[in-house]
Structure 1
């Protein structure tokens, strides 16, 4: 059989692999049965469903083409790198790096850094739009996590608060 759509084939392969890994990982917990579910029941069933859906996508990529080329293009390194760096910056700024003397900068600055770094990954960049988005995300995160859920995050850098 010939692969008609590389995108579908490799997407299905990824779904199958992740689903199988989750299902295998869930077996280390008490699974139970449908009437008395254990902590491993839901991840096991979710992993099985994901793996089966992945096999279905793989079968579809082999059986028929969708009319498009279906080839995988080049890897977009710049957006990939910027998104990973944005997440790393968020983690470092939120928690700090005490081993090298970097204090925690707080939730608000971490969200602003995340938003501004990640926004550079897109094809167009607008400082004003990014500033508005970062402000809305910071306010929303504060309301949800600090006010609503009462989680103990450092909101501002130590030198401010």
Structure 2
């Protein structure tokens, strides 16, 4: 890492934000923008992409002036566990239902933590599943099975 970068974490976080923000803007170029009163399909991703790129630019700029700690080891096990939880959620949501998919997501993601305990993981999963059912199924009326057809729902 060059010596003029004083905060490597801010630098690389800013680069990632900048790349994702610019990608959203570039993808939005293929769609019509519209106006603030009548937004086109490119309006929202372009505005959010611009804001994300701006945040990234600020983070990169800060990395040259503020001292910070170096980047630690890359957490492969944790990354794999969290991505597995997200993929399981996508696979389970239709067949097993919202409750089972939420439990899989929360437990796999929580297991990635060094402070994981089964008791807290299950309590968190139960709370998140209850919240999801109340908000998305009951209040918003989304057509998501609470208990999926794999479990007779």
1:64-122 C-alpha deviation (Å, 9 max, x unpaired): 232x3x32111011211110111111111113xxxxxxxx1111111122222222111
- Listed as ranges, the matches of 1:89-104 within 5 Å are 89-95=88-94, 104=95
Deviations 1:26-71 (A, max 9, x none): 1111113456543322322322232233222212212x232x3x32
Moved over 6 A (4+): none
Separation (CA, whole Å) in 2 of partners of 1:35 and 1:85? 41
Runs of 5+ unmatched residues, structure 2: none
Decide which structure has the larger Cα Rg and report it.
1
Q: 1:117 aligns with which of 85, 89, 108?
A: 108
Q: CA RMSD in A?
A: 1.9
What's the counterpart of residue 160 of structure 1? 152
Output aligned runs, 1:1-161, within 5 Å. Answer: 2-34=4-36, 36-62=38-64, 64-66=65-67, 68=68, 70-95=69-94, 104-158=95-149, 159-161=151-153
1:98-154 CA-to-partner distances (Å, cap 9, x unmatched) read: xxxxxx111111112222222211112222222221111111111111111111112
TM-score between both structures, scaled by the size of structure 2: 0.86
Query: Would you say how many aligned residue pairs link Structure 1 and Structure 2?
Result: 150
Following the alignment from structure 1 to structure 2, what is the Cα–Cα distance between the partners of residues 35 and 143?
33
Alignment partner of 1:124: what SS? Answer: coil
Report the TM-score when normalising by structure 1.
Answer: 0.82
